[in-house]
């Protein structure tokens, strides 16, 4: 790769060469140097000031800076962290550049339909709010604000077990059916109670997260926390009892001796959950064809390809690169969703072309929430939808059913 120092050296050499040319006798090196500078130096993009209102944002990244400005360091650390060296977090973004888009021309794209059907419900957009715990750490209205935004814009939302608002209140704020994400804990009695409550609240789908069997190493989070001078324990006690005290889903449950994660979670739990609930069962955190095949064998109704936004294991592999093998194993028998690193409409386009039915976002809507509450989340959704719709038009795709692998090149193979 050529660096800017390399370019400067070559430019000087080239100018020296020209300085000896009779041509320069006519014009002069100052003129030439100016022209070369202009041609070779990419024009500096003006740095945008911090946005002060959702409407000022040009893309979802604008909300990250605004969120960082507003949040206490420890809370921003929790939001932003990956694990170990944050390599998987970066890989999730870099993965998208390995796939390129093949646009088709001369198609009437005056209207495009981005709606998607998932388990009998139709949503305006294939962009879903991923489950994220503790949203009141980002904004006082937490999950309620996110749900109102999702409901207003016609998006599905998945509520976390670790939510700081109850499933009943979030469902009411959303106005439509929401899915419930389950951390089953290490105690079946608790898992059962959580499942029954979500079912009674009208959730049609249970999302079992399977990628955190034994905690994780969130170094970045801890480094941010060290710079925070406030005393965490003055707002919330630590450990599971302190954690669940702020999590309404655990209200009334005795969590003495219970662990939030279970290293003993196996495929047996999947069978047990299937026998416990009428809700559809989706597994979140699948990354391989082998596990996709096991999902089918165990009667799982859907898959979310996910590495928890680079917050589970440091696999170093992006989910967009995991997606094709899972889609191939599933062969359209159940819906496959994907998350981790989605920030642009083109990312959404690539995933859907590779066979995902929908995609989920985590941090982008949480940045919007932290920065501006409900209007921030709404603007994040608006921006992503607009970019995605624009990409569909550029590529000549008028509905999601017409989007297939012919629209992407797997750059890893060429």
Ligand X SMILES: Cc1cc2nc3c(=O)[nH]c(=O)nc-3n(C[C@H](O)[C@H](O)[C@H](O)COP(=O)(O)O)c2cc1C
- Residues labelled catalytic: 308
Task: Give one word for 202, left, alpha or beta, with left for phi > 0 and alpha for psi -120 to 50.
Answer: left
Q: Examine residue 339 and tell whether it contacts ligand X (CB under 6 A).
A: yes
- As given in the structure block, the two tokens for residue 258 are 């219970």
Binding residue (CB under 6 A) for ligand X from 88, 114, 125, 160 = 160
Nearer to ligand X among residue 283 and residue 403 (C-beta): 283
- Closest residue by beta carbon to ligand X: 362
Binding residue (CB under 6 A) for ligand X from 162, 302, 373, 376 = 162
Q: Examine residue 131 and tell whether it contacts ligand X (CB under 6 A).
A: yes
The conformation of residue 50, written as its DSSP 8-state character, comes to P
**What whole-number distance in Å separates Cα of residue 181 and Cα of residue 279?**
12
Q: What's the min distance (Å) between Cβ of 6 and ligand X?
A: 34
Q: What's the min distance (Å) between Cβ of 81 and ligand X?
A: 8
Nearer to ligand X among residue 218 and residue 277 (C-beta): 218
Size of the site for ligand X (CB under 6 A): 24
Q: What's the min distance (Å) between Cβ of 249 and ligand X?
A: 11
Q: What's the min distance (Å) between Cβ of 260 and ligand X?
A: 10
Q: Examine residue 357 and tell whether it contacts ligand X (CB under 6 A).
A: no
| Region binding ligand X by CB under 6 A among candidate stretches 5-13, 40-48, 124-132, 169-177 | 124-132
Site for ligand X in 200-239 (CB under 6 A): 209
- C-alpha angle with apex 333: 329 to 337, nearest 5 degrees? 75
- As given in the structure block, the two tokens for residue 13 are 């050499």
Binding residue (CB under 6 A) for ligand X from 127, 144, 327, 361 = 361
Nearer to ligand X among residue 207 and residue 392 (C-beta): 207
- As given in the structure block, the two tokens for residue 282 are 């989706």
Q: What's the min distance (Å) between Cβ of 96 and ligand X?
A: 11
DSSP-assigned states of every residue in 84-126: TTSHHHHHHHHHGGGEEE----S---SS-B--EEETTEEES-S
Nearer to ligand X among residue 262 and residue 306 (C-beta): 306
Site for ligand X in 287-326 (CB under 6 A): 306, 308-309, 311
**What whole-number distance in Å separates Cα of residue 109 and Cα of residue 249?**
45
Q: Examine residue 362 and tell whether it contacts ligand X (CB under 6 A).
A: yes
CB 120 within 8 A of CB 156: no
Q: Examine residue 79 and tell whether it contacts ligand X (CB under 6 A).
A: yes
Nearer to ligand X among residue 34 and residue 69 (C-beta): 69
Binding residue (CB under 6 A) for ligand X from 123, 363, 373, 391 = 363
| β-pair type (408-410, 158-159) | unpaired
Nearer to ligand X among residue 220 and residue 340 (C-beta): 340
Binding residue (CB under 6 A) for ligand X from 82, 142, 324, 341 = 341
- As given in the structure block, the two tokens for residue 329 are 């194993």
Cα torsion through 369, 374, 376, 381, rounded to 10: 100
Q: Examine residue 397 and tell whether it contacts ligand X (CB under 6 A).
A: no
The interface mask with ligand X, positions 260-289, x = CB under 6 A, is ------------------------x-----
Q: 408-412: long-range contacts at Cβ-Cβ below 8 A with a sequence spacing of 24 or more?
A: 408/99, 408/100, 408/101, 408/102, 408/350, 408/353, 408/354, 409/99, 409/100, 409/101, 409/102, 410/98, 410/99, 410/324, 411/97, 411/98, 411/99, 411/100, 412/98, 412/321
CB 125 within 8 A of CB 155: yes
**What whole-number distance in Å separates Cα of residue 180 and Cα of residue 201?**
10
Nearer to ligand X among residue 92 and residue 262 (C-beta): 92
Residue 336 pairs in a beta bridge with 303
Give the DSSP H/E element, type plus range, for residue 368. helix 363-372
Q: Which residues bind ligand X (CB under 6 A)?
A: 78-79, 92, 130-133, 160, 162, 181, 209, 284, 306, 308-309, 311, 339-342, 361-363, 366
């Amino acid at each position: 790769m050529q660096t800017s120092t390399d370019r400067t050296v070559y430019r000087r050499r080239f100018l020296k060469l020209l300085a000896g040319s009779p041509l320069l006798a006519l014009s002069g090196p100052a003129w030439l140097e100016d022209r070369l500078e202009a041609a070779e130096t990419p024009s500096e993009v003006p740095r945008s000031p911090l946005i002060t209102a959702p409407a000022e944002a040009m893309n979802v990244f604008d909300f990250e800076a605004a969120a960082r400005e507003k949040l206490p360091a420890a809370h921003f650390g929790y939001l932003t962290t990956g694990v170990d060296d944050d390599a998987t977090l970066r890989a999730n973004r870099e993965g998208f550049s390995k796939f390129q888009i093949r646009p088709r021309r001369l198609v009437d794209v005056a209207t495009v339909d981005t709606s998607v059907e998932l388990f009998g419900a139709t949503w305006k957009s294939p962009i879903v709010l991923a489950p994220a715990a503790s949203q009141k750490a980002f904004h006082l209205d937490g999950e309620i604000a996110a749900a109102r935004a999702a409901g207003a814009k016609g998006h599905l939302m998945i509520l976390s077990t670790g939510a700081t608002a109850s499933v009943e209140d979030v469902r009411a704020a959303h106005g439509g059916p929401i899915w419930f994400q389950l951390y089953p804990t290490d105690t079946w009695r608790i898992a059962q109670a959580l499942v029954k409550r979500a079912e009674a609240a009208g959730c049609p789908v249970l999302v079992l997260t399977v990628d955190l069997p034994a905690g994780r190493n969130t170094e970045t989070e801890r480094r941010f926390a060290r710079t925070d001078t406030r005393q965490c324990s003055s707002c919330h006690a630590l450990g599971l009892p302190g954690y669940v005290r702020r999590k309404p889903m655990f209200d009334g449950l005795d969590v003495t001796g219970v662990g939030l994660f279970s290293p003993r979670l196996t495929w047996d739990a999947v069978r047990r959950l299937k026998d416990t609930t009428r809700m559809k069962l989706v597994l979140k955190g699948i990354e391989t064809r082998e596990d996709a095949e096991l999902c089918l064998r165990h009667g799982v109704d859907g898959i979310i390809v996910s590495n928890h936004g680079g917050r589970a294991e440091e696999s170093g592999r992006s989910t967009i690169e995991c997606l094709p093998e899972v889609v191939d194993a599933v062969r359209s028998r159940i819906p496959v969703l994907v998350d981790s690193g989605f920030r642009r409409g083109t990312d959404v386009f690539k995933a859907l072309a590779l066979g995902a039915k929908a995609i989920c976002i985590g941090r982008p809507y949480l940045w919007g929430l932290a920065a501006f509450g409900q209007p921030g989340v709404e603007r994040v959704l608006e921006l992503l939808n607009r970019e995605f719709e624009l990409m569909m038009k550029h590529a000549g795709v008028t509905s999601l059913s017409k989007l297939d692998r012919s629209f992407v090149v797997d750059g890893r193979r060429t």
